[in-house]
Structure 1
Amino acid sequence: MRTCLRAIPALLIAFVFSGQLHAATVDTVKTFSAAMNKEIKAVVITPDSYKKKESKDIRYPVVYLLHGAGGHQDDWIKKVPELKEMADRYNLLIVCPDGNVTSWYFDSPVDPAWKYETYVAAELVKWTDEHYRTIADRKGRAITGLSMGGHGGMYLSFRHQDVYGAGGSMSGGVDFRPFPKNWDIAKRLGAYADVPERWDENTAVNLIGLLKPGSLSLIIDCGTDDFFFKVNNEFHAKLLENKIQHDYIVRPGGHTWEYWRNAVDYQLLFMSHYFKSKN
């Protein structure tokens, strides 16, 4: 009996050590934006299989995962460490860029040094393809995010259908016009009362006309208690009106990490199915 009791801790140590050997890798990298002339950090999660010798010739799909207002590149991995397990489960790379605290992922017509659309949709994608074994094609790329990043997922996938094959949004601010004084958007576009046309041109709901049926695989998720729930319902209705196929998930929940921790697994599963259907 004593022998068995002594063996148990050793087995536990071996199990933990084994888990550490077989897990996704999380790296914080420095990228460069020529458009903004500055270094920008990103978190890159690679699945366990990526570093194995037998997969050295395999190329991997990438999901670009965007943070919300007030966040940074490490928000997702700090709040949802299970992303490492998801990268392994779905066998894909996850790239989380620093989109600044209130970029909304567009190029500002007011500030020429504010070019987060160019950075995320062009410069970061190019950098990732050059530094990792990726499927360097829209069939191997998807983009999604939460809140401000949900707007970015829709805005960037709609405007760059040659870059991404799938787009997602979690609790996304897919129409920010009802919130003209929030999140420093007026600093990037000008005041809504003065230049409403800029707001119209840069809010995701008004870009649905860029889509053709089947042009993108889309998944949208929002909780019923979220302050963005109304604009997401309207976004969903407009997609239906334009005959754009999409998954729309509605569950009880608010604008919280508890909600997004659950939502991101659905999003990555959806993206994984898309990649498998195309590659």
Structure 2
Amino acid sequence: MNTKRIITFLLICVASLGLKATAATIDTATTHSASMNKDLKAVIIKPAGYSTAQKYPVIYLLHGFSGNYSDWIKKIPAITKLADTYHFIIVCPDGAFAGWYFDSPVNKEFRYETYVANELVSYVDKHYATIANRKGRAITGLSMGGHGALFLAFKHQDVFGAAGSMSGVVDIRQFADSYGIEALLGKYGEHPDVWEQHCVVSLIYLVKPNALALTFDCGYDDGMYSGNQELHEKLLERKIPHDYTVRPGSHSWEYWGNSVTYQALFFSRYFNGEK
């Protein structure tokens, strides 16, 4: 009887070790932004079996308006399984309640373009075993984060090789009086040129065919649908390859939880040289 109990105990221990070995590790890192002179947190998910003996690609996953760095892991904890399945690192930055992921020409306390594209990328490459070049980096996000991901990728093609957007606010001019954008760019009627310089659909000229691997999607019942359709048509006009998907759904975590699984596959194919 004692022998059986010992064997059972050992089997349970081995099983427990096996579970730990196949589970992603979630870090909450405190990073410093010199440009904003403050510390910011980021969730960093390392895949199962993570080892400094090899290098991993990284997906930067941005939150939406009124959210923070912890949104994705709290709302869609299954993203850890995506890191395990495709063996990449996922980084969820903080873009503030309404930071919009650009450097505000009005308020110098909001420099989230510099933070994400330069400071955070440098931190992650220094502290984790990453493929530290554009071929090993992708960026995507939801809503405000979808805007941020494409904006950052368009402007920093030396940093990111692939980009996506889920229900992205790709035409911020539609919301000139909403979501805190005016506080960062000034009034649209007084500074239309500034708004153009920070609007994704107005920055397509920065992208040449095949310069970026692009994927974006939007629910048909989403208020962002018309802007995403416009972006798709403009990319077609310029003959810029991209994946664009319209699915049933609205501006919701249910939609984004489904969407991120398809985008993870797209980025995995990019990292493997299939895109």
Partner residue in 2 for 1:260: 256
Partner residue in 1 for 2:68: 72
Please report how far the alpha carbon of residue 106 of structure 1 lies from its aligned counterpart in structure 2 after TM superposition: 0.3
2:90 is matched with which residue: 90, 94, 101?
94
1:143 to 2:166 alignment: no
Residues 149-172 of structure 1: per-residue CA shift (max 9 Å, x gap): 000111000000000000000000
2:173 is matched with which residue: 171, 174, 177?
177
Contact 2:22/2:84 (CA < 8 Å) preserved in 1?
Answer: no
Residues 227-272 of structure 1: per-residue CA shift (max 9 Å, x gap): 0000000000000011100000110000000000000011111001
Contact 1:139/1:278 (CA < 8 Å) preserved in 2?
Answer: no
CA distance in 2 between partners of 1:118 and 1:199 (Å):
18
SS at match of 1:49: coil
CA distance in 2 between partners of 1:12 and 1:148 (Å):
45
Partner residue in 1 for 2:100: 104
1:19 to 2:29 alignment: no
Alignment of 1:227-246 (within 5 A): 227-246=223-242
Partner residue in 2 for 1:5: none
The one-letter code matched in structure 2 to 1:175 is: D
Structure 2 spans left out of the alignment, 5+ residues: 1-7
SS at match of 1:48: coil
Please report how far the alpha carbon of residue 21 of structure 1 lies from its aligned counterpart in structure 2 after TM superposition: 3.9
Contact 2:153/2:161 (CA < 8 Å) preserved in 1?
Answer: yes
Alignment of 1:263-274 (within 5 A): 263-274=259-270
1:127 to 2:131 alignment: no
Please report how far the alpha carbon of residue 19 of structure 1 lies from its aligned counterpart in structure 2 after TM superposition: 2.7
CA distance in 2 between partners of 1:12 and 1:201 (Å):
59
Partner residue in 2 for 1:58: 54
Partner residue in 2 for 1:44: 44
Partner residue in 2 for 1:30: 30
Structure 1 pair 127/278, CA: closer, same or farther in 2 (3 Å)? Answer: farther
The one-letter code matched in structure 1 to 2:123 is: W
Structure 1 pair 232/75, CA: closer, same or farther in 2 (3 Å)? Answer: same
Contact 2:21/2:49 (CA < 8 Å) preserved in 1?
Answer: no
Please report how far the alpha carbon of residue 194 of structure 1 lies from its aligned counterpart in structure 2 after TM superposition: 1.4
Identity over aligned pairs, percent: 54
SS at match of 1:50: coil
Partner residue in 1 for 2:5: none
Please report how far the alpha carbon of residue 195 of structure 1 lies from its aligned counterpart in structure 2 after TM superposition: 1.0
CA distance in 1 between partners of 2:66 and 2:14 (Å):
40
Partner residue in 1 for 2:204: 208
CA distance in 1 between partners of 2:82 and 2:271 (Å):
15
The one-letter code matched in structure 1 to 2:86 is: Y
Structure 1 spans left out of the alignment, 5+ residues: 1-7
Q: What is the aligned-residue RMSD (CA, Å)?
A: 2.0
Structure 1 pair 250/15, CA: closer, same or farther in 2 (3 Å)? Answer: farther
Please report how far the alpha carbon of residue 193 of structure 1 lies from its aligned counterpart in structure 2 after TM superposition: 1.5
Please report how far the alpha carbon of residue 114 of structure 1 lies from its aligned counterpart in structure 2 after TM superposition: 1.2
CA distance in 2 between partners of 1:27 and 1:218 (Å):
28
SS at match of 1:277: coil
SS at match of 2:49: helix
CA distance in 2 between partners of 1:145 and 1:247 (Å):
15
CA distance in 2 between partners of 1:271 and 1:219 (Å):
9
Please report how far the alpha carbon of residue 20 of structure 1 lies from its aligned counterpart in structure 2 after TM superposition: 3.8
SS at match of 1:197: helix
SS at match of 2:82: helix
Contact 2:134/2:159 (CA < 8 Å) preserved in 1?
Answer: yes
TM-score (norm 1): 0.92
Residues 165-192 of structure 1: per-residue CA shift (max 9 Å, x gap): 0000000000010111111000000011
CA distance in 2 between partners of 1:57 and 1:12 (Å):
29
Q: Which is worse superposed, 188-197 or 141-150?
A: 188-197
